[in-house]
Amino acid sequence: MIYAELESLKRYRGLGKYLDEAIDFLGSHPLDGFGAGHYEINGNLVYMNVFDYETIPEDEGFFEAHNHYADIQMTIEGEEMVGVSEISKVSIKSVDQEKDLIEVTGAPEHYMRLSPGKALIVFPEDAHMVKLAAGTPSAVKKAVIKFYLEDVQE
């Protein structure tokens, strides 16, 4: 997991070519110019989804992880909490290989506050529960860049 200022992500260039592509995209494309939708950056290797939603209480949250992709999570407007746990500390409920989605159960070990200008990168070892209210539920516009991990170990 990497939790950093969005402008500091360039320090993590070199960790992987698709992460580099995502960081380069963020450096040249202001997020506030994107509406809700799916945006291909490099086909299915690097892409961005933008969402508009209301945050939710933790007891309504969905806890997930991925095998083949990492996520860069960023709010464009509003703020939310993201709960994160090491995947070995939670229980796997279901695995959908086609969607690269692992549903898990358990409690988050850590909470990260996402507000505009912050970025959270979660890797396969980082189960994450998103859309959590930072206090009372509120409106959020969020971008998630998914990038493929070249050297995936299963």
- Let me know if residue 71 belongs to a domain: yes
- Let me know if residue 10 belongs to a domain: yes
**For position 154, what pLDDT does the model report?**
46
**For position 150, what pLDDT does the model report?**
79
Rg of the chain taking only CA atoms, in angstroms:
15
What residues have CB less than 8 Å from 72, skipping those under 6 apart?
Answer: 9, 22, 26, 119, 120, 121, 144, 145, 147
Instruction: Count CA within 13 A, CB hemisphere, residue 90.
Output: 27
**For position 153, what pLDDT does the model report?**
46
d(CA 110, CA 127): 11
Q: How many CB atoms lie within 10 A of CB 72?
A: 24
- Let me know if residue 22 belongs to a domain: yes
For residue 9, give the 3-state DSSP assignment. helix
- Let me know if residue 113 belongs to a domain: yes
In the chain, the number of structural domains is 1
- Let me know if residue 17 belongs to a domain: yes
- Let me know if residue 153 belongs to a domain: no
Q: What is the CATH number of the domain that holds 27?
A: 2.60.120.370
- Let me know if residue 141 belongs to a domain: yes
pLDDT tens for the chain, 154 residues long, are 999 999 999 999 999 999 999 999 999 999 999 999 999 999 999 999 999 999 999 999 999 999 999 999 999 999 999 999 999 999 999 999 999 999 999 999 999 999 999 999 999 999 999 999 999 999 999 999 999 997 654 4
CA proximity to 9, closest of 145, 149, 153: 145
Q: Which domain holds residue 14?
A: 2-148
- Let me know if residue 154 belongs to a domain: no
What is the b/e burial string over 26-51, where b = at least 16 CB atoms within 10 angstroms of the residue's CB? beeeebeeeeeeeeebeeebbbbebe
